[in-house]
Amino acid sequence: MKAKRCNIPTKVITGIKKINKRMIIAGYCFLLLIGGMGCQNKKQHSKNYEELLIGSWKYSEINNGVTCTVTFHPDHRLTQYFEFQHGGGKARPGEWNVNGDTLFINEKTGESSLLFEVLNDSVMMLLTHDSIPVVFERITEGLPVKQ
């Protein structure tokens, strides 16, 4: 049995080859673009985290009527203050340290580590080891206004 010859015009074959080349090039460009975006989103250096971390932060959620404020001091001490809905509060001291993109907190209840996800002048979002976000807002009362 003789094989049938397919008579596809040369123009069509050339066009298909060009389309395949274009798709391959477009795919590479897309991958480079995505890869470049990842490079721009590099984590900050530890020193930047430390500088931005210093100050007072308020936990964005209220749990059972309790609000939490944390102050990170430049000497690596921290003070957590828990304020109760019906009045009163409790201060809990501790220490903090940054290594890479991880915040380590050592206090009476033990040591914990949290991963910096976002840290800027107004918001801090940390991730627990279970990837649960913990969001804080910077307390700006009494701080000088940047001009």
Query: What is the pLDDT, as a whole number, of residue 16?
Result: 54
Of the listed ranges 20-34, 48-62, 121-135, the least confidently predicted one is 20-34
Give the confidence band of 61 by pLDDT, cuts at 50, 70, 90.
Answer: confident
Q: Which residues contact 129 (CB under 8 A, 6 or more apart)?
A: 113
Domain 46-138 architecture: Beta Barrel (2.40)
pLDDT, position 147: 40
Query: What element of type H or E holds 93?
Result: strand 89-99
Helix (H, G, I), strand (E, B) or coil at 64: coil
Q: Which of 129, 102, 130, 106 is nearest to 116 (CA)?
A: 102
Mean pLDDT of the chain: 77
- 3-state DSSP call for residue 67? strand
Is the confidence at residue 143, as pLDDT, over 80? no
Contact 84, 62 (CB under 8 A): no
Query: For the chain, which residues make up each domain, given as ranges?
Result: 9-42, 46-138
Q: Write b or e for each residue in 42-58: b if 16 or more Cβ atoms lie within 10 A of its Cβ, otherwise e.
A: eebebeebbebbebbbb
Rounded mean pLDDT, 88-114: 93
Which helix (DSSP H) or strand (DSSP E) does residue 103 occupy?
A: strand 102-107
